[in-house]
Amino acid sequence: MPKLMIALDVLNREEALKIVNEVKDYIDAVKVGYPLVLSSGLEIVEEIKKICNREVICDFKVADIPETNRKIAEIALKYADGIIVHGFVGEDSVKAVQEVAKKFNKKVIMVTEMSHPGAIQYMQPIANKLAKMAKKLKVDAIVAPSTRPERLKEIKDIAKLPVMTPGVGYQGGKIEEIINILDENDYVIVGRSIYQSENPKDVAKKFKEKLNKNKTK
Ligand code: XMP
């Protein structure tokens, strides 16, 4: 079954660690981004790992020149198991991060098409090309939208790489509509639907059960 990754976009350390503690039995990975890291520091990654012993990915959507990308990756990958980068900046910028990741034996995950409506404007027209590039560069995984299952499928078919897919829950994506596209190497990312709920543990458990049961093929 696909893995469940919580997007931990809360704004303080205590709340983040409390949620991780509550959901740890039902999640396979944790995604931290600017909201948490800028408010708590990158050391939060170590604290999360201490509590749940799960993979932690930094969603920094790195999108700079190779030299700057390299510096960001050097810092983030001292702590995290992987880092999310943008592909639209070009192969050289992604390769710079891959070189650092190789040194640390960590993952590089590349964004193709984002999950929000605005992604249709500029990202969607180039997303298939980005998926091809991801395949060529052999990144460890790609990000593609669960809000548009047909696009998720097309991008995954092109890249033939593991997918981390955001958009389930708050953004309208449904596990039932993407489960047949995914396999055990893929990750479903859920943020607000879990961490903003009254009972994050119960909600995470329900998502995990859905990922387990819903495959129909
Ligand atoms: P919610 O609260 O909507 O959180 O469940 C979704 C999480 O995923 C991030 N996100 C993306 N990250 N490429 C990414 O690398 C994307 O296309 C994308 N769309 C959403 C979002 O920042 C949040 O952490």
Nearest atom in ligand 1 to 143's CA: 13
Name the closest-CA residue to atom 1, ligand 1.
Answer: 191
- In the chain (217 residues long), the average pLDDT of successive 10-residue segments reads 97 97 98 98 98 98 98 98 98 98 98 95 96 98 97 98 96 94 97 97 96 69
CB 53 within 8 A of CB 30: no
Nearest atom in ligand 1 to 113's CA: 17
CA atoms within 13 A on the CB side of 101: 24
Which one from 24, 28, 49, 64 is the annotated catalytic residue? 64
Predicted TM-score of the model (pTM): 0.96
- Which secondary structure element, helix H or strand E, spans residue 86, and what is its range? strand 82-86
Q: Which residues does ligand 1 sit against, CB inside 6 Å?
A: 7, 9, 33, 59, 61, 84, 111, 114-115, 143, 145, 166, 169-171, 189-193
pLDDT digits (tens, 9 = 90+) for 26-51: 999 999 999 999 999 999 999 999 99
- Best CA proximity match to 147, nearest among 125, 171, 127, 123: 171
The one-letter amino acid code at 85 reads V
pLDDT digits (tens, 9 = 90+) for 61-99: 999 999 999 999 999 999 999 999 999 999 999 999 999
ipTM here: 0.92
Torsion angles phi and psi, residue 147, rounded to 5: -75, -15
Helix 66-79, helix 91-104: angle, nearest 10: 30
Angle at 87 between CA 139 and CA 115, to 5 degrees: 100
Distance 50 CA to ligand 1 centre (A): 24
Active site residue 213: no
Active site residue 59: yes
> What 3-state class would DSSP assign to 73?
helix
For residues 84, 107, 55, 85, the Cα torsion angle rounded to the nearest 10 degrees is 0
- Best CA proximity match to 85, nearest among 104, 74, 67, 98: 98
Which one from 18, 24, 49, 61 is the annotated catalytic residue? 61
Tokens in use for 144?
Answer: 């593609």
